[in-house]
């Protein structure tokens, strides 16, 4: 009788644990932090056009500002092709802009996930020099989702174009999974390419860009290109988020996997 009661209690506890883990996994994966990129659309001696692009993620409200170093002046703000396509397809919402300070905002009635150009800015160059990475940046002051009566605040990231691109910029992985990163752009002959993980307890990366999920959490893999004199000429990054699957959670908790898995 006692053994039967113990067995029933064990079954009930396992069912409760599975339900809780399933609910946790689904709620945790509802909203991921958006990733943006800032790229140069065109440039000549007198002006440069840059684009804020959505790379991954979803959001509804976005407040941001194009900021430039001395020698640049914003003269035009406009919707990018992806945002224009959203409205053309019947998407509802509104966007506002202030050319004098480079600020713009968008409030949409549904989750926005169209990758590509979201907003463009045209800057006049008073110095006549060539645009360099870092001359123009984007500051995002609000990125959020309206979930019923609750506002979910997200933490977006902006990757800046350095002339070097990877095949991925943001990856969600499960523990013990593998992912191969690769350069989508050519590097000069004689250059040295190195890979580095910001947290090797979460992901490791070898000299060829092969990534292994060694633990759970967040980490960034950086690819660096140096010239023949050892000077860094370009960098590109990819963010990783590693989590357990439901089965792995069961192994960790029920089967004491934290000791051996």
Q: Is 118 exposed, middle or buried (0-12, 13-18, 19+ CB in 10 A)?
A: buried
Q: Is 133 exposed, middle or buried (0-12, 13-18, 19+ CB in 10 A)?
A: middle
Confirm if 114 and 93 have CB atoms less than 8 A apart: no
pLDDT at 249: 86
| Confidence (pTM) | 0.56
In terms of Cα–Cα distance, which of 32, 23, 74 is closest to 55? 32
Together in a domain, 185 and 155:
no
Confirm if 131 and 161 have CB atoms less than 8 A apart: no
pLDDT at 20: 43
Which range of residues forms the domain containing residue 217?
164-247
Confirm if 240 and 217 have CB atoms less than 8 A apart: no
Is the pLDDT confidence value at 12 over 70? no
Together in a domain, 152 and 169:
no
pLDDT digits (tens, 9 = 90+) for 107-156: 999 999 999 999 999 999 987 776 776 789 899 999 999 888 889 999 99
Q: Establish if 25 belongs to a structural domain.
A: no
pLDDT digits (tens, 9 = 90+) for 162-178: 556 788 888 999 999 99
Q: Establish if 202 belongs to a structural domain.
A: yes
Select from 111, 141, 160 the last residue of a domain.
160
pLDDT band with cut points at 50, 70 and 90 for residue 212: very high
């Amino acid at each position: 009788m006692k053994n039967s009661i113990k067995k029933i209690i064990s079954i009930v506890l396992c069912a409760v644990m599975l339900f809780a883990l399933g609910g946790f996994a689904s709620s945790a994966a509802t909203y991921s932090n958006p990733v943006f990129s800032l790229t140069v659309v065109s440039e000549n001696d007198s002006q440069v056009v840059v684009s804020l692009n959505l790379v991954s993620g979803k959001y509804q409200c976005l407040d941001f500002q194009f900021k430039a170093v001395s020698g640049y002046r914003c003269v035009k703000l406009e919707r990018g092709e992806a945002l224009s396509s959203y409205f053309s397809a019947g998407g509802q919402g509104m966007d506002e802009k202030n050319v004098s300070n480079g600020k713009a905002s968008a409030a949409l009635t549904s989750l926005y996930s169209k990758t590509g150009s979201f907003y463009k800015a045209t800057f006049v160059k008073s110095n006549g020099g060539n645009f360099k990475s870092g001359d123009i940046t984007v500051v995002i002051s609000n990125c959020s989702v309206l979930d019923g009566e609750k506002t979910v605040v997200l933490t977006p990231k902006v990757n800046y174009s350095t002339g070097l691109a990877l095949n991925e910029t943001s990856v969600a992985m499960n523990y013990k999974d593998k992912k191969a990163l690769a350069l989508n752009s050519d590097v000069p002959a004689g250059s040295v390419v190195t890979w580095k993980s910001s947290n090797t307890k979460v992901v490791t990366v070898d000299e060829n860009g092969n990534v292994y999920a060694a633990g759970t959490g967040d980490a960034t893999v950086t690819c660096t290109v140096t010239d023949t004199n050892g000077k860094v000429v370009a960098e590109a990054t990819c963010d990783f988020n590693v989590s357990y699957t439901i089965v792995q959670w069961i192994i960790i908790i029920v089967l004491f996997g934290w000791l051996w898995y």
